[in-house]
Structure 1
Amino acid sequence: MGGILALDIARQLGWAAATADACRAWPRTQLEARGHDWSGVRSGSVMLAQPAATHGRLYAAFADWLADAITIHAPRIVIIEAPLPRINGGAEAARRSLGLSAVADLVCYRREVECFEAANNSVKKTFAGSGRAEKGDMLRACQARGWDPKDDNEADALALLDHSILLLRERRAWRPEHISAPLNRIMGGLARKVGA
């Protein structure tokens, strides 16, 4: 087991994964300076379900996708954007967001992978300089780092990945030999353990 899988969970899922080696050598400038290629980082965006799909179909598609992603990327941590109550989206959007968060927690629990949430405004502030950054700002911040996300979902996942790795590095927590108690304390104020 190794790195981090960051998820911007929605019908159109954004994801970004980094191996343990890529996490240790983060950020990209350090990867390049140390002679690493960028192959330790992967990202993308995938449509989990069409807008007319039921919540159950969406949750099932996400559970299947996440289980496969954990098998492929073998992360030791999955980090998701904390679900926000959506005033404009109403009860349906809130139910969808909280349901997807619960599915992430369940799949990670079953696969024995730690699952954390990070506050959206903290991620935006760290990555784009403002907690109120818009989709275009996040895309531009990715491009400024040399990334070319295909949409804002992938950009948000890359931002979440960057935020998480930098937080772990700042707290000097990136050690492959431990994960549970020390990481729970380290992630403390900026992210909370899902299901705790």
Structure 2
Amino acid sequence: MTAPVVLALDLATASGWAIGPVGSRPRCGSLPLGERGAPRRERAAELTKWLAAMLKLEAPRLIVIEQPLQPAVLVKIGGSLDTALLLYGLAVVAESVAHLRGVRDVRMADVQDVRQHFTGHRTFKATVHPLTGKKITARANGKSAVINMCRMRGWDVADDDQADAMATWSYGCALIDRRAAAAATPLFARSA
């Protein structure tokens, strides 16, 4: 019996994706959704084409999408209504394409739940760089922790979009089989 495949998506203007069977070494990549300043409809169309093609090649049992931030949180960090519409719209596009391709298990994953699963920390604090004195935001520290955890697992990631997708993939695997997700980590690899 083959292990179920999980596809994870970190959707934004530059999106990350990760895919692979539970308990395996996943593949990942980045997906730019249109040129800078492109309208939402063009970005949504890019995602539609890419995801439809991906789902012709792969048959995931589960698709996990990093849940867009709540609009109030987006505004707090400097986002706009246009950004909120884009992020929520991309999630709906992904759900729709998955439905049309026969993938019935599509779930949203809260970024804090994913980070808790992947790094052991639900939230991160802003810090000050000890050498430069520059402020490092909580968001940047969280993304850095996810990238570092990917590297500890031996997963090459080119950017934080891919790293977030890999973390979300790991979270999705744990939803299907907690033992297989733990076995993929360096700490438990020897005992698995």
Residue 5 (str. 1) matches residue 13 (str. 2): no
* Runs (5+) with no aligned partner, structure 2: 125-141, 181-192
Taking the TM superposition and a 5 Å limit, the aligned residue runs for 1:41-120 are 41-85=26-70, 86-87=74-75, 88-113=78-103, 114-120=105-111
> What is the distance in 1 between the residues matched to 2:48 and 2:123?
30
4+ aligned runs moved over 3 Å, structure 1: none
Do the aligned partners of residues 82 and 171 (structure 1) sit closer, same or farther apart at CA in structure 2, a change above 3 Å counting? farther
Residue 154 (str. 1) matches residue 162 (str. 2): yes
> What is the distance in 2 between the residues matched to 1:71 and 1:10?
22
Q: How large is the Cα RMSD of the aligned pairs?
A: 1.8
> What is the distance in 1 between the residues matched to 2:50 and 2:156?
23
Please name the residue that 1:194 is paired with: none
Equivalent pairs, count: 155
State the identity as a percent: 33
Q: From the CA coordinates, give the structure whose radius of gyration is larger.
A: 2
Residue type matched to 2:37 in 1?
A
TM superposition shift of 1:135: 1.2
Residue type matched to 2:64 in 1?
I
Residue type matched to 2:101 in 1?
R
Q: Secondary structure at the match of 1:43?
A: strand
